[in-house]
Structure 1
Amino acid sequence: MNALYRRLDVTECGFLVVGLVLVALAWVIPGWLMFLLTISLAKALVVLGVVLQMRAGLVSFGQALFYSIGGYGAGMGAQMLGINDAFLLLIIGVACAVVVAMVCGLLLSKYRDIFFAMLTLALSMILYGVLVKSSFMGSTDGFNVPPASYLGWVPTAANKQLANYLLAVGLGLIGAIAFHKLIISSVGGMTEAVRENEVRVDYLGLSPQSLVFINYVSAAAISALGGGLTALATGHVDPDMAFWTTSGEFVFIAILGGTGHVAAPFVGALVFSAIRTYAIQEAPNTWQMTLGVVLLVLVLFLPKGLWSLGEKFSKGVKA
């Protein structure tokens, strides 16, 4: 245990504690809250990819491209290939996304600013158009994803939601720790340097284009993982997973949580899901306006996101 602690910093130990608490809550919280947390964790993984690119000075308006590839990859693996193991289905979705990202990244790594944002959006909408026109993939209706097994264990209908929740908690914990290690590594530091001054990075003998490419592919992999989790949790995939509003939702969550810490996307995703659920319940015809007001207030009073509240509080305690 001491050896493990020495390998983990305070942030990573904090993630472990939160993960254990979430696991313990699985037998206490109601089903609707368990489902809400599962979807929030899945979307937080996608937002991690968005934040990772933001730290390099790039904003992706097409992250739904890989979110949908992860979902459709898992769904097609179950529906058409007859694979029912959840972990294999997630691997299929992530592998498909990484292949696509490596091809698209050769082009996108050359662009910055609005050009990068618009190209990512265009690629996502191309996939949306393909999915809508593909009758064998359900066209506009999509298709259902059969229940999965977990390393040979086939959960009953009553335990299916619990299994997906525990899977989301486990993968969320692994993803958070992995990306924290990436951010504090030399690669993560140089990625931020790309945002500040690409010329100086080039003078150091490193390729800014290669760093952006690595960032893009890494973000694609974690986003596809979130898409696969969503497909397993909801039991359905459809073209809306690739639509531009879905990408906008991920950017919204990134702004809501902030980019100052790896935990921020998880906080933002949970708060976003809670606000949207409440808004749809109380004002089903104007819930989009509610989200817009929240974003406006956030930009005006908390431009660095919700995570900046914790930073201000910690500074106040130290003072």
Structure 2
Amino acid sequence: MLHRVIVPIALLAAIAYPMSGHSWTAFLAIVFMKALPVLGIILLLQAGQVSFGHALYFAVGAYTAGFVARDLGGGELVVLLLAGTVASLIAGLIVGAFVVRYRYIFFAMLNLAFSMVLYSLLEKFFHITGGSDGLRIDRPTVLGLSLDRAEFETILYYVALAILAVSLIGVHRFLDSPTGHALKAIKTNETRIEYLGLSPRMILLRAYVVSATLAGLGGTLVGVFQGIATPDYAYWVRSGEFVFVAILGGTGHVLGAVAGSFVYEFIRANAAAYVGDTWQLTLGIVLLVIILFAPSGLIGLLNGRRRPAAADAEPAKRQPGTDQEVAR
């Protein structure tokens, strides 16, 4: 497939890019960081579930890093990343234990509700969170070294790239495992999973916690990189952005998170420079074009696919003699 050729080339280019001296290092670092929560959305979409509240974990990661950095006077980068990751994992486990009981629109709206509750708390508790002004995150040390802004951004660039690469490989292997195949089966026939003696709720909960952890890790990286965490990190628009990017990049492959994040940030940065406040219109047009002419997203377009994965599988479901026909 085409991405097997493109991926190694793109990875080598990403590793070498900061050495070229160009000014897009910060832009690419943001792309890598925001691809993590999108990857979490793609993971849940394999089970046919969409979350409009994953900004909750994005904010949990960023604010946890901010609190730890404030208490430690800046702290260490590794400590902040670990703290944000663990906090989002715990939050995902608590919220997930409740929301995995529901499916489809109820699943989506419950996640949205939890996210908006956190948004309100971050806005109201001004003396703790900084309110709408946000919480400042002081620049941490890296292995005990205090770096200037340029050096710190370069380090974060490589950290984000390494974390994203490991996450992509990990999620890909997870989806190719028995648990991953069971997760996909939730979308088509959840009853069969129960017949096999497995719990659909537990399978979805595992995926949900992984998804929440990825979102929290992305939020931690973005918060540390920008030096601030604001309530907007938990707002529903942020959650919608993650879903938007997942559809744009393509939900049928983990690389859709990277492709969608890159195109989204590129259009937003350039459209905002030329068309001002109407950059959302440009993004909307791009998404409409993708939906109409490449429903499988950008990655599906690269692979030459014009139909969504569900449509490709439809003829097979109707073939006589299959296991599904026998069950009927």
TM-score (norm 2): 0.88
Distance 1:171 1:13 in 2: 21
Corresponding residue to 2:221 among 218, 229, 232: 229
Residues of 2 paired with 1:176 and 1:29: CA distance? Answer: 27
Q: Look up the match of 1:143.
A: 135
Q: Contact conserved, 2:58 with 2:217, CA < 8 A, in 1?
A: yes
1:301 maps to 2:293 = yes
Paired residue type of 1:131: L
Residue identity in the other structure for 1:66: Y
Alignment of 1:102 with 2:93, yes or no, is yes
Of 27, 36, 49, 2:27 maps to 36
Query: 2-side partners of 1:66 and 1:127: how far apart?
Result: 10
Deviation string 1:200-239 (CA, Å, 9 cap, x unpaired) is 1110111101111111101011111100110111111100
Equivalent residue, structure 2, for 1:6: none
Q: Tell me how far apart the structure 2 counterparts of residues 111 and 123 of structure 1 sit (CA, whole Å).
A: 14
> Map of 1:45-60 to 2, 5 A cutoff?
45-60=36-51
Aligned counterpart for 1:76 among listed residues 67, 88, 101: 67
Single out whichever of 215-224 and 149-158 deviates more from structure 2: 149-158
Q: Distance in 2 between matches of 1:155 and 1:185?
A: 41
Q: How far apart, in 1, do the equivalents of 2:72 and 2:51 lie?
A: 32
Of 123, 126, 132, which aligns to 1:132?
Answer: 123
Q: Is there any run of 5+ residues in structure 2 with no aligned partner, and where?
A: 306-328
Quote the Cα distance in structure 1 between the aligned partners of 2:173 and 2:228. 33
AA aligned to 1:93 is: G
Q: Which residue of 1 aligns with 2:52?
A: 61
Residue 188 of structure 2 corresponds to residue 173 of structure 1:
no
Q: State the SS of the aligned residue for 1:149.
A: coil
Cα gap change, 1:154/1:81 in structure 2, threshold over 3 Å: closer, same or farther?
Answer: closer
Distance of 2:8 and 2:102 partners within structure 1:
38
Report the CA distance shift for 1:35/1:253 in structure 2 as closer, same or farther (over 3 A). same
Q: Distance in 2 between matches of 1:172 and 1:26?
A: 17
Q: Which amino acid aligns with 2:258?
A: F
The alpha-carbon deviation at position 288 of structure 1 amounts to: 1.3
Match of 1:249 in 2: 241
The answer as to 2:264 corresponding to 1:272 is yes
Amino acid at match of 2:222: T
| 2:13 alignment partner, one of 21, 43, 67 | 21
The C-alpha deviation readout for 1:124-158, integer Å capped at 9, x for no partner, is 00000000011121100102211122222322233
Partner Cα separation in structure 1 for residue 11 and residue 163 of structure 2: 10
Task: Tell me if structure 2 keeps the 8 A contact 1:15–1:176.
Answer: no
* Alignment-mate amino acid for residue 64 of structure 2: G
Question: Partner letter of residue 202 of structure 1?
Answer: E
Task: Find the aligned partners of 2:47 and 2:156 in 1 and give their Cα distance.
Answer: 32
Distance in 1 of aligned mates of 2:77 and 2:44: 28
Q: CA deviation at 1:113?
A: 0.6
Identity %: 38
Query: Is residue 88 of structure 1 aligned with residue 64 of structure 2?
Result: no
**Cα pair distance change 1:16/1:225, threshold 3 Å:** farther
Q: Which runs of 5+ in 1 are unaligned?
A: 1-9, 314-319
- Aligned counterparts of 1:13 and 1:188: Cα–Cα separation in 2: 25
Q: Which amino acid aligns with 2:147?
A: P
Return the letter of the residue paired with 2:103. Answer: R
Aligned residues: 303
Aligned equivalents of 1:124, 1:12: Cα separation in 2: 37
Q: Which residue of 2 aligns with 1:5?
A: none
SS of the counterpart of 2:252?
Answer: coil
Q: 1:95 touches 1:221 (CA, 8 Å); kept in 2?
A: yes
Alpha carbons of 1:176 and 1:12: their partners in 2 closer, same or farther (altered >3 Å)?
farther
Farther off after superposition, 145-154 or 228-237: 145-154
4+ long deviations beyond 4 Å:
10-17
1:19 touches 1:170 (CA, 8 Å); kept in 2? Answer: no
Q: CA deviation at 1:295?
A: 1.4
Q: Give the aligned partner of residue 160 of structure 1.
A: 152
**Shift, 1:12, TM fit:** 8.9
